Amino acid sequence: MSAQPTTGQPLDGARMGLIALALTLAAAPHFARIPIAATLAFLALLGWRFWFATHHRPLPNRHWISLLGGIALLLIWGGVGIGGLTGGVALLLVMIALRLMESPHREESHLPLFLGLFLVSLQFLKSQSLPTFALMAVQLLTLLIAWLALERSDPLDLRPMLRQGLTLMGQALPLALILFLLFPRLSGPLWGVPSSSSASSGLSEEVAPGDVSTLALSDAIAFRVAFDGAKPPGNQLYFRTIVLDQTDGVTWRALPPKLAPQTTGVEQGISQTITLEPDNQRWLPGLDRAVASGDANLDPHETLWLRRPLSERLRYNVTSRLDPKPTPLDAEQRSASLALPPPDPQVSALAASWRRQHPDDDHGVVQAGLDWLRSQPFVYTLNPPIMIEDPVRQFLFEQKRGFCEHFATAFAVLMRSAGIPARLVVGYQGGEFNPLGNYLIVRQRDAHAWVEVWTKNSGWERVDPTATVSPERIELGMGALGDLDALAGLDPAERMAALRDALAGGLGERLIENLRLGWDSLNNGWNQWVIGFGPELQASLLRKVGWLGETWQGLAVGMGVGVALFLGWFSLLHLRRPGLDPVVAAFAKVEQRLAKLGIQRLPGEGVETFCRRVEPWVVVQSGGLVPLALQYQRLRFAPDPHPDEMKAFQQRCRALRINGLQEPTT
């Protein structure tokens, strides 16, 4: 139906309240990132405008509004500036509220709602998560309802406006889906990425005793791994990230990465797809040991790296071998892998005793070191004591309490003291398998440190001293250990049994666990197929349906076909609707009965004029023509007439009886 324009209609309290609610909901996610003064100014101005609307008071003149705008601008400029995203959003909020302060009529209130759509879309610059998208859908619906309220002249009824808002969103959804799938993709994300401050802190290129244990307190997800085939057993889930060669006896450091020599042929091994969360590092984890990756550089240490720190979520493929080939060690490399400041005499004496037992057997020395650790009352704990003077000596001979990096750094120093090349490796071990998505979730708490030693026959091989002291850490994963100190008094078998019982849980715990894993699977799918829908995935999808070769022409054709299909569907949807307004159709029946008597409406003649002209010439029962015309005009031009009134008008038109012509009376 056509509707009378609402020009000049004042903005009443109910509609202003709905606008304030919609704009506040759209702006709420930004409140934590903008100056508190801007937030308070925005809310105060909205509340003030609502007071004017409910009390029917005239709005302040433009001079006062300009003064308020200048004060707000100075506050924002002095706080965060107006050049960046934070200052820009703060300024936009205040300008929206000021625009409402100078908008006494409904038609002038559309612009603030339109700007509210920008507030909603700006959230993508900070977060692109599934909950953010769901919140944006609610915000959009609220803005649409407020917009529809401005177009209605009758008292507000939220139910039809909610239904109409959902209908509008549903009609736009197919076109949005077509554009999402077919619009040409750039190499980077369309909305940019969250700032680096949102990236979680992961492993570092420098490790000292106590560094890794800080990560064990974090449940933040480091990465997810999908294996092409069966998942390796838990004791093989070592994700190699950084190799640290240099040490001063306490802190271990990584050398700058460099490219490994290129190999010919296709490497065979375990294929995995890793989705890594941003961590501001350039090192990428891969199942120990990575032998190939088409998406990252491979270091001679068989680690993966990027040329720039990672500031956005990355999905890459890795091929790894659990039984790597032995690698030679030249004199320079051997010297670097044995370099060590003079250790404490106790440490040197312990290492020398193992060498005397196995003078020509490096494997024997390594095993002697592990046996010694096993025989001592070492405790694996997240709360090791602070050791400053000589951490290695204090840990080995005094405190005997530590986390994985304490065991690894001490064992590496012992091996170098015994004349065996050794180095420290940091990465992740274990993880939580999600059967709903068939992938492994690795969290920051799974960060781990171990040692690699070089022997003549085996090359570099992994040795994990933590597994000697706490085998349940390797078998069950860090997430299963709970309170480590509470388990310290149990022997290994008792600890393992207690942890397995705790993992089994009850029915309620298993239900909560399945819900949590289901949510993570949903998030993972969102990240991979929506946020991660880049040029490669788009090209792969379009090739599968035969719309894309290697040229943009194919994509343009596909996009054109998609838009044409949507327009065709939309047209058919509207063609199914009645061609005439129900009010027009009902009165047309009356005109048909008058036409049988030779009375017709003139071109350009209005309904009321027509009825006043012909009513004196006809004999009418069950009402008159002029009252019927007045009701017609009221319903025809109402923005949203009540269904009961429409039905009553249709019944009145059907009940009208025209019995013939008569001479008009004077």
State the catalytic residues: 404, 448, 464
Rounded CA gap, 271 and 568, in Å?
45
Task: Say which residues have a Cβ less than 8 Å from residue 119's Cβ, sequence separation at least 6.
Answer: 23, 26, 27, 30, 89, 92, 93, 96
Of 10, 18, 111, 112, the closest CA to residue 52 belongs to 10
Cβ contact 26:96 at 8 Å: no
3-state secondary structure 113-179: HHHHHHHHHHHHHCCCCHHHHHHHHHHHHHHHHHHHHHCCCCCCCHHHHHHHHHHHHHHHHHHHHHH
Q: If you write DSSP's letter for every residue of 426-463 in order, what string do you get? A: EEEE--EEETTTTEEEEEGGGEEEEEEEEETTTEEEEE
User: Number of C-alpha atoms within 13 angstroms, CB side, residue 244?
Assistant: 25
Rounded CA gap, 35 and 38, in Å?
5
Rounded CA gap, 226 and 275, in Å?
9
Burial 214-250 (b: 16+ CB within 10 A, else e): ebbebeebbbbbbbeeebbeeeebbbbbbbbbebebb
Q: Which residues pair with 239 in a beta bridge?
A: 287, 428
User: Number of C-alpha atoms within 13 angstroms, CB side, residue 660?
Assistant: 2
Cβ contact 409:451 at 8 Å: no
Question: Three-state DSSP class for 362?
Answer: helix
Directed axis angle between helix 643-655 and helix 582-595, to 10°? 10
Helices and strands (H and E) in the chain: how many: 23, 21
- Tell me: cis bond preceding 289? Omega within 30 of 0 counts: yes
User: Number of C-alpha atoms within 13 angstroms, CB side, residue 166?
Assistant: 5
Burial 470-502 (b: 16+ CB within 10 A, else e): bbbbbbbbbbebeebeebeeeeeeebbeebeee
**Secondary structure letter of residue 231 according to DSSP:** P
**Secondary structure letter of residue 105 according to DSSP:** B
> Exposed/middle/buried for 548, CB within 10 Å: 0-12, 13-18, 19+?
buried
Cβ contact 82:59 at 8 Å: no
Cβ contact 120:26 at 8 Å: yes
**Secondary structure letter of residue 260 according to DSSP:** P
In this structure, the strands spanning 246-247 and 401-402 are unpaired
- Report phi then psi at 27, rounded to 5: -90, -20
- Report phi then psi at 155, rounded to 5: -55, 145
Query: How is residue 560 written in tokens?
Result: 């054109």
